[in-house]
Structure formats: C-alpha cells, structure tokens
C-alpha cells in the first residue's frame, strides 16, 4: 500500500484468534474491553496500571470484571504511578472508584501477582506472538520494553488506545498519553507493529441510548450492571461534551482492531510523542503531510469504525457471558 493512502482492512472477517495481554485501568470502557477480549481473544492475562483511578482501584475493578464473566484469567497489578509525571486520575469521568454507577460485587479473589512487568516479560518469552493491548497509561508497557530488550521481537505487536489529532485532557493530549508521556514516547519508538485507536476513531463509537438499550434488553445481572455503568459513563460524557450523544467507548476498539479488523479503516502514519511542550506535552503528533519529507510510518492509525457493527460485537459478547 502506498504510504499515506487510507485503506479498509481486507483481513478475512474470521482473522485467527489473537493471544493478548490486556493492560488496563478500569475504567468503564476498559471493563467493556475485558468483555470483548474474553470472548474474542485468547486472553492470556490482564495487567493493571494506575490511570483512571489509583492502582488499588483499577486492580479491584479488573478482578470484579473477571468474576462477573466467570473467567479465571490471571490478573497482575503493575505501576502505581507514571515514569516521571505525577500520579493523576480521572475521577471526574469514571468516579472515585474508577467504576462508579453500578452496584458491583466485591471481588472474590486477589491479584495473581503485583509485578505486571515481570508477568508481561516472562509470558512473552514463554509464548511468542502475543499482542500487548494497553488501554490505559503506557507505564507497564514501557517498563517491560526497557527491561527486556528482546521483548519487541517476541511479541506480535502493540494495539493501544490513546492519542489522536486532538486531546481530551488538554487541547492537545489524550488522557492515556498525557498521564505518562515518557512511557508513551518509548512505546511509539519501540520499532515493532503498532496500532493506535485514538480519539478520532473512538469518538465515532458512542454509547447512545439506543445502543445501551440493546445491553439492557439482555437477560441477567452482568447485562444489568454493564448497562448501569454505560449510563453513568454516558451521563458524565454528556455533561462535559457539547456534541456527543453518549460516552465514547474507547478501549474495546484497541481489542477489535485485532479481532474484527474488517470494521476499521486505517492510515499508516508516523506518530511521535511530545514530552516537552508547555501546551502540548502528551500530544501524539501525527504526520499527515503529503510531502516527500514526511517520516516513514511507525503506526497504523485507526481512522474509521463501522460503529453499529462494532457495538453489536459488544452486545453479542455480553450476551455470550449472560447465558
């Protein structure tokens, strides 16, 4: 494909099941990503990072989701703060628990370990070809890449949620990148396959009332709780954005980029992270120039999603765990 051309993935709809480690900071949309990953991937492990809420809460929330799905996927907690930036959270969107808005049960188990970086490295050395799917700040992933120089050659690639041509935590920076720009810079420079679900595509994927109603119509406690979470998430989004009909359900798109590539259009671009700008720290600078001086692409940027079909994937995954 010529550089700069956009393309709709032509992968067959039934692309082989990817093995992934989901690195997350649940987080309402992270919770949905866990459901989709549990249904459509070989979910080798879940690692948690501080982001939407402190690490103790994001880890607790991940464990609650595995309970609700009835899966025993190993959960390993990771970094409780960014590499350099101060710890900052997003209670204004997700609530103080990180997963406000539903009457969630207490977790029935503790984490399998508290060294996510070691889990990522050892798992990817034992089993090659795993995708790392980070949907929170990139601290764990950056630490793993820095600790194990062989990691980049053992993984299939990285499919992340983050960045965009505009921000949400600032005019320039999206939260996951803004929270730990130094980590993000290491990830975008790692040199292997990289997919990016940024705000340009995730804002196309909103939990509108009609879509949440499809979840509410499903039987069982899981669907009821997830519908409550989506209502809460959408309520906070609607009070903060002028132009949205529901919360942008960001994180599952980083999973579906691997499991349902036919639903996306991508553009191959060079993306670099701003770490120093007074007003732009945490920005993903996407080189859109149609100039021969443009830098070779290092990233598949997701630019469009078939939103109705993608949300039906979520509804079907919830239904699968509701029977």
Catalytically active residues, by annotation: 250
The residues pairing with 76 across neighbouring beta strands, listed in sequence order, are: 47, 113
300 sits near ligand RIB (criterion: CB under 6 A): no
Least distance in angstroms from the C-beta of 201 to Ca ion: 15
Q: Give the containing element (helix H, strand E) for 60.
A: helix 55-69
Nearer to ligand RIB by C-beta: 121 or 168?
168
Could you tell me the two tokens for 214? 């499809």
* Residue 132: φ, ψ to 5°: -95, 125
Spatial contact of 172 and 280, defined as CB atoms under 8 Å apart: yes
CB of 162 to ligand RIB, least distance (A): 7
Instruction: Choose which of 18, 22, 23, 27 interacts with ligand RIB (CB under 6 A).
Output: 27
Residue 240's nearest CA partner among 93, 94, 108, 107 is 93
- Which residues, numbered 218-237, are part of the site for ligand RIB (CB under 6 A)? none
Quote the least distance from Cβ 291 to ligand RIB, whole Å. 30
CB 64 within 8 A of CB 285: no
* 168 near ligand RIB, judged by CB under 6 A: yes
Q: Can residue 135 be called a binding residue for ligand RIB (CB under 6 A)?
A: yes
Question: Which residue in 36, 264, 21, 3 sits closest to 127, CA to CA?
Answer: 21
Site for Ca ion, rule CB under 5 A: 25, 27, 30, 135-136, 251
CA 126 – CA 308 distance, rounded (Å): 38
| Minimum distance from residue 229 beta carbon to ligand RIB (Å) | 12
Segment interacting with ligand RIB, rule: CB under 6 A, options 167-175, 213-221, 258-266, 289-297? 167-175
Range in contact with ligand RIB (rule: CB under 6 A) among 25-33, 238-246, 255-263, 293-301: 25-33
What CA–CA distance (Å, rounded) separates 121 from 147?
A: 8
d(CA 58, CA 24): 8
- Kindly indicate which of the ranges 22-30, 67-75, 125-133, 280-288 contains the residues binding ligand RIB, using the contact rule CB under 6 A: 22-30
Binding footprint of ligand RIB on the chain (CB under 6 A): 25, 27, 29-30, 51-52, 135-136, 161, 168, 174-176, 250-251
């Amino acid at each position: 494909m010529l550089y700069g051309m956009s393309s709709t993935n032509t992968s067959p709809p039934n692309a082989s099941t990817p093995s992934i480690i989901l690195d997350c900071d649940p987080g309402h949309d992270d919770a949905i990503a866990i459901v989709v990953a549990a249904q459509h991937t070989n979910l080798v492990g879940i690692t948690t990072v501080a982001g939407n809420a402190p690490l103790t809460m994001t880890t607790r929330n991940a464990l609650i989701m595995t309970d609700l799905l009835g899966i025993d996927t190993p959960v390993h907690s990771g970094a409780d703060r960014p590499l350099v930036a101060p710890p900052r959270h997003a209670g204004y969107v997700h609530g103080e628990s990180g997963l406000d808005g539903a009457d969630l049960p207490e977790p029935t188990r503790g984490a399998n370990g508290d060294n996510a970086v070691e889990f990522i490295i050892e798992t990817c050395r034992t089993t090659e070809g795993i995708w790392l799917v980070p949907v929170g700040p990139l601290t764990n992933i950056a630490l793993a890449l820095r600790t194990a120089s062989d990691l980049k050659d053992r993984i299939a690639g990285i499919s992340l949620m983050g960045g965009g041509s505009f921000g949400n935590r600032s005019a320039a920076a999206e939260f996951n990148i803004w929270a730990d720009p130094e980590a993000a810079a290491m990830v975008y420079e790692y040199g292997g396959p990289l997919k990016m679900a940024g705000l340009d595509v995730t804002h196309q994927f909103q939990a509108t009332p009609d879509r949440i109603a499809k979840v509410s119509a499903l039987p069982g406690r899981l669907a009821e709780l997830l519908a409550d979470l989506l209502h809460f998430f959408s309520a906070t989004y609607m009070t903060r954005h002028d132009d949205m009909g529901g919360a942008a359900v960001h994180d599952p798109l980083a999973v579906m980029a691997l499991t349902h590539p036919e639903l996306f259009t991508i553009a191959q671009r060079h993306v670099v992270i701003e770490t120093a700008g007074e007003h732009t720290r945490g920005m993903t600078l996407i080189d859109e120039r149609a100039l021969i001086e443009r830098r070779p692409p290092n990233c598949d940027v997701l630019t469009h999603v078939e939103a109705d079909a993608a949300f039906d994937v979520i509804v079907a995954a919830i239904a699968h765990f509701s029977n």
